[in-house]
Amino acid sequence: MICAVHMQNLAIIRGERLLFQGLDLSVRKGEAVALTGANGSGKTSLLRALAGLIRPHAGDVRFEGPQGVLEAEDARSQGVHLLGHQDCFKATRTAWEELLFQVQWTGGTEASARAASAKLDLDRLAGLEVRKLSAGQRRRLALARLVASPRSLWLLDEPMAPLDTARRAVFGDLMAEHLAGGGMIIAAVHDPLPIAARACDLSSLDGPAQ
Amino acid sequence: MNGFWVMLRREMAMAWGRGGGPLLALTFFVATATLLPLAVGASPARLAAVAPGSAWLALALASLLSLERLFERDYEDGTLDLLALGPVPLEAVAFAKGLAQWLTNGAPLALAAPVVAVALGADLRLVPLIFISALIGGLGLAFTGGIGAALSLGSKRGGVLIAVLVLPLFAPPVIFGAGAIEAFAGGLDWHPALGLLSAYGLAAAALGPFAMAAACRNALS
């Protein structure tokens, strides 16, 4: 269980380009942060660095549990959900097969997968192959994983883009519920989140002009 | 450990499901072997002499077929990110993938290998040894093949690249596997060759996952 994430003097370089530097940000239980910034300002890279998939150029990321500092690897393997642009589904498997695998893989159970499927109104789609789902339906399937397996830090990359207005409201409720249960959310967004969130603008942390 | 089983079950289900990986490899194996009499002539004596060796060659080629899908599919649709954040390290994920590759491709091919060899004229006495050597050899082929599959992540035309990367690594199992059968047929001691084949397979299964996981992390970053 992660209770807080601290980023200290973080800088990320992709290719030869410095995306941002000197990022200091702490997120604690029950807080949400909305990452903003122009295209290419490093929102996705920051989320991937927090998930441990890319290594920051400078600075460090620390995870804090109830009993003090956590080993980064343990924290990520048990406490982090990453929802990127791609939704990680095999086109020829059924929605239910894919959801069940993802939920079990991230620490949930079959019962919690069923509950999440009902909550996100996916029961009707469960038997369909993923390739027959629309972009919005696939995104709801991906969100069901977050709801079904309890991990405290959600890293979301443009989570709402394919969702319709009604589903955005539902998703807002889910995020509020997660925060109320002691979770944390860091989301890269262009549109404002439907919940109260601190803003963090990566464009203001640009490197020196090149 | 639970995570490992979840992973292994999924890999097996995906291999057997749509796409027909094992069937494809089997058909390719049989088709390649069928070409042999057309290439070297149908004289039974000549065919019988090269049957075990050619069965092994066709086996190595057939093992290449499904390698491209081993990591590439998960890389393309983003699942590899999810696998990297799972309850077990990527090394265990790679081991599960290699194991599933062996069980769903290596094992059916090992069952077909004696049939193909006998059809080409190999002696019936060789059947058990051909099966055992193909099964053990398949372990090595699956895990060294997995290394090539992971290294080629992100490149277009991954399949050809995998073949180029991996075929040199397939030399030892082909040498030992075909060598064991050759020795047995010639009345020589075949244990050392089978022992070396087993050693190769176990070493590949033990070390391959580390190389695969490193290559995956590199592809993700």
In this predicted model, which residue has the larger pLDDT, B21 or A59? A59
What CATH number does the domain containing A184 carry?
3.40.50.300
Q: How many Å separate Cα A12 from the centre of its chain?
A: 19
Say if A87 falls within a structural domain. yes
* CB contact B77 to A (< 8 Å): yes
Say if A187 falls within a structural domain. yes
Per DSSP, chain B holds a count of helices (H) and strands (E) of: 11, 0
DSSP class per residue in B80-132: HHHHHTSSS-HHHHHHHHHHHHIIIIIHHHHHHHHHHHHHTT--GGGHHHHHH
Contacts of A138 in chain B (CB under 8 A): none
Residue B41 has what pLDDT? 80
Residue B20 has what pLDDT? 64
β-pair type (A58-65, A4-14): antiparallel
**A59-73, A92-106, A136-150, A193-207, range with the lowest pLDDT:** A193-207
Which residue among A52, A80, A92 places its CB closest to the CB of B18?
A: A92
Per residue in B108-130, pLDDT (tens digit) is 999 999 998 888 888 888 899 99
Q: What integer is the mean pLDDT of B2-15?
A: 88
Residue A209 has what pLDDT? 43
Q: What integer is the mean pLDDT of A185-194?
A: 87
Contacts of A84 in chain B (CB under 8 A): 78, 81
- The Cα–Cα gap between B109 and B162 comes to 20
Say if A106 falls within a structural domain. yes
Banded pLDDT at B100 (limits 50, 70, 90): very high
Contact check, Cβ <8 Å, A102/B87: no
In B16-55, the residues whose Cβ lies within 8 Å of chain A are 17-19
Determine which of A48, A90, A109, A132 to mutate to test the interface with B (most B C-beta atoms within 10 Å): A90
Return the SS3 of A35: strand
Per residue in B38-92, pLDDT (tens digit) is 888 878 888 888 888 888 888 888 888 888 888 888 888 889 999 998 888 999 9
Determine what percent of chain B falls in helix, strand and coil, rounding each to the nearest 5: 85, 0, 15
Contacts of B91 in chain A (CB under 8 A): none
Nearest CA in chain B to A99: B10
Say if A12 falls within a structural domain. no
Which residue among A53, A80, A89 places its CB closest to the CB of B220?
A: A53
Q: What integer is the mean pLDDT of A161-170?
A: 86
Nearest CA in chain A to B86: A77
Contact check, Cβ <8 Å, A86/B14: no
The DSSP call for residue A94 is: B
**Burial (CB count <10 Å: 0-12, 13-18, 19+), residue A134:** exposed
Say if A152 falls within a structural domain. yes
Say if A8 falls within a structural domain. no
Banded pLDDT at B149 (limits 50, 70, 90): very high
Residue B19 has what pLDDT? 61
* CB contact A82 to B (< 8 Å): yes
Residue A3 has what pLDDT? 86
**A136-140, A185-189, A203-207, B188-192, range with the lowest pLDDT:** A203-207
Per residue in A62-100, pLDDT (tens digit) is 998 888 888 888 888 888 999 988 878 888 888 999 999
Range of the domain at A41: 30-52+79-205
The share of chain A scoring above pLDDT 90, in percent, equals 17
Residue pair B101/B199 in contact by the 8 Å Cβ criterion: no
How many residue pairs from chains A and B have C-beta atoms closer than 8 A? 71
Residue A194 has what pLDDT? 83
Say if A135 falls within a structural domain. yes
B147 has pLDDT over 90 = yes
In A136-165, the residues whose Cβ lies within 8 Å of chain B are none
Strand order of the sheet with strand A32-36? A80-83, A153-157, A184-188, A32-36, A198-201
A114 has pLDDT over 60 = yes
Residue A210 has what pLDDT? 41
Look up residue A174 and give its two tokens.
Answer: 């889910």
- The Cα–Cα gap between B76 and B59 comes to 28
Banded pLDDT at B1 (limits 50, 70, 90): low
Strand order of the sheet with strand A4-14? A17-28, A4-14, A58-65, A68-70
Residue pair A36/A199 in contact by the 8 Å Cβ criterion: yes
Contact check, Cβ <8 Å, B83/A84: no
In this predicted model, which residue has the larger pLDDT, B209 or A127? B209
Residue B18 has what pLDDT? 61
Average pLDDT, chain B: 88
B3 has pLDDT over 70 = yes
A207 has pLDDT over 60 = no
Q: What integer is the mean pLDDT of A143-160?
A: 90
* CB contact A80 to B (< 8 Å): yes
- The Cα–Cα gap between A164 and A136 comes to 7
Determine which of B1, B83, B85, B90 to mutate to test the interface with A (most A C-beta atoms within 10 Å): B85
Contacts of A73 in chain B (CB under 8 A): 89
B99 has pLDDT over 50 = yes
Q: What integer is the mean pLDDT of A141-148?
A: 90
Contacts of A53 in chain B (CB under 8 A): 81, 84, 220-221
- Number of independent structural domains in chain A: 1
Say if A58 falls within a structural domain. no
